[in-house]
Amino acid sequence: MIKFYKFHGTGNDFIMLDGRELLTIPTPDEIRQLCHRQMGIGADGLIIVKPVEGFDFEMIYFNADGSLATMCGNGARCAVAFGYISGMSGSDITFKAGDGGHSGTLQPLTDYKWMVEISMGNISIPDHTGESTEIHTGTPHLVIITRDPDSVNVPVEGRRIRYSEPYQTSGINVNFLSIRDNRLKVRTYEKGVEDETLSCGTGVTACAAVAAMKTGVNNWIIETRGGILEVRLKKNETIFDNVRLKGPAAMVFCGEFTGSFPR
Ligand SMILES: N[C@@H](CCC[C@H](N)C(=O)O)C(=O)O
């Protein structure tokens, strides 16, 4: 039996596994089973956290469909909290994700909830922003500016775009963004979950970058369906750097999975 920990960051939920206890990495089939909402634990993604040279730990991120993703902003915030409670790191943390090195800090809010801030990688500034902008924030995102994200059927419209050319094969995360009174509202369809999630950390980072290009404002409070996130960034000639993502991360339960995994 394998012990698992269930976390969420503003409603984006994850199964966390301690890499020190694993004999093998779960297969895509096993990940799909574990993340299944009715027949498994249920989650948007599965994260393995394990010590690695040069950093406090490494985070390996899989979407609920078993596909590997290079980065997950909310998942990384939860991994920082897990690294802390599992003794892999202190409250100033360095970690490695698929897109490179990151740092993080955390403050306890309750016994099982923390405010976590992480550094995100530099973001290349796209050539132009129209009503829809492709931007990479550790994972690929499309940001579509709309008057009211709540009037969009995100699962249907997001899926239509994600499976259209040119995204069909490699996939893309689709964000619907409104910019009003220096506040952003975002709803995201995530590839790999193939549905809307309650929040997406790399998605809100992409939206903050697009909003900064449109308005010149660099600090944003962002409303997602699962709660509030904060993004700060600095615009240079061709990149945004000093990109920070901040918000709560919570552990909701832990348990032992009784299926056949691990082999
Ligand atoms: N929910 C994540 C993003 C997870 C990866 C994404 N679905 C992908 O495959 O690119 C976040 O909080 O950033």
Residue among 67, 52, 105, 138 at smallest CA distance from 249: 105
162 and 205 housed in the same domain: yes
Surface-to-core class of residue 229, CB atoms within 10 Å of its CB (0-12 exposed, 13-18 middle, 19+ buried): buried
How many independent structural domains does the chain possess?
2
Read off the pTM.
0.97
Give the mutation target among 137, 173, 194 for probing the ligand 1 site: most ligand atoms within 8 A of CB. Answer: 173
CA of 45 relative to ligand 1 center, distance in Å: 8
Residue 262, in any domain of the structure: no
Give the separation between CA 247 and CA 245, rounded to whole angstroms: 7
Q: Are both 64 and 170 inside the same structural domain?
A: no
Cα 69 to averaged position of ligand 1 atoms, centre (Å): 7
**9 annotated ligand-binding residue:** no
Structure tokens at 241: 């750097």
Does one domain contain both 149 and 205?
Answer: yes
Same domain, 18 and 112: yes
Domain that holds residue 29: 2-120+249-257
Q: Is 78 considered catalytic here?
A: no
- Whether 97 and 55 map to the same domain: the answer is yes
Check: CB of residue 126 under 8 Å from CB of residue 141. Answer: no
Q: Residue 41: inside a domain, yes or no?
A: yes
List pocket residues of ligand 1, CB cut-off 6 Å: 12, 63, 69, 72-75, 139, 173, 190-192, 197, 200-202
Instruction: Give the pLDDT confidence score for residue 263 in this predicted structure.
Output: 45
Q: Are residues 115 and 176 in the same domain?
A: no
Using the atom order of ligand 1, give the atom closest to the CA of residue 205: 13
Indicate whether 102 and 140 sit together in one domain.
no
Considering the domain architecture, whether residues 236 and 169 belong to the same structural domain is answered as yes
Q: What is the pLDDT of residue 261?
A: 58
Report if residue 116 sits inside a domain: yes
Residue 54 CB neighbours (<10 A): 8
Whether 263 is covered by a domain: the verdict is no
Active-site annotation holder among 72, 78, 207, 254: 72
Can you tell me the distance from the alpha carbon of 145 to that of 131, in angstroms, rounded to the nearest whole number?
5
Confidence at residue 181, expressed as pLDDT on a 0 to 100 scale = 84
Q: Which two tokens stand for residue 89?
A: 């790191």
pLDDT digits (tens, 9 = 90+) for 67-102: 999 999 999 999 999 999 999 999 999 999 999 999
228 alpha carbon – ligand 1 mean position (Å): 17
Examine the residue annotation and report whether 200 is marked as an active-site residue of this protein: yes
Among 63, 118, 195, 246, residue to substitute to test ligand 1 (most atoms within 8 Å of Cβ): 63
Of ligand 1's listed atoms, the one at least distance from the Cα of 172 is 10
pLDDT tens-digit profile of 231-255? 999 999 999 999 999 999 999 999 9
In a domain, 194, yes or no: yes
Query: Tokens at residue 195, please?
Result: 């549905």
Same domain, 166 and 223: yes
What HEC string does the chain produce? CEEEEEEEECCEEEEEEEHHHCCCCCCHHHHHHHHCCCCCCCCCEEEEEEEECCEEEEEEEEECCCCEECCCHHHHHHHHHHHHHCCCCCCEEEEEECCEEEEEEEEEEECCEEEEEEEECCEECCCCCCCEEEEECCCEEEEEECCCHHHCCHHHHHHHHHCCCCCCCCCCEEEEEEEECCEEEEEEEECCCCEEECCCHHHHHHHHHHHHHHHCCCEEEEEECCEEEEEEEEECCCEEEEEEEEEEEEEEEEEEECCCCCC
Domain harbouring 8, CATH code: 3.10.310.10
Is 201 annotated among the ligand-binding residues?
A: yes
Nearest CA to ligand 1 atom 5: 72
Domain-embedded: residue 151 = yes
Q: Is the ipTM of this complex over 0.90?
A: yes
Residues 83 and 187 in one domain: no
> What is the spatial distance between Cα 176 and Cα 211, in angstroms, rounded to a whole number?
12
Answer yes or no: do 86 and 164 share one domain: no
- Whether residue 193 sits in one domain with residue 162: yes
Q: pLDDT at position 260, please?
A: 62
* Spacing, Cα 68 to ligand 1 middle (Å): 10
Q: Is residue 6 part of a domain?
A: yes
Q: Which residues of the chain have pLDDT under 70?
A: 129, 259-263
Residue 101 forms part of a structural domain: yes
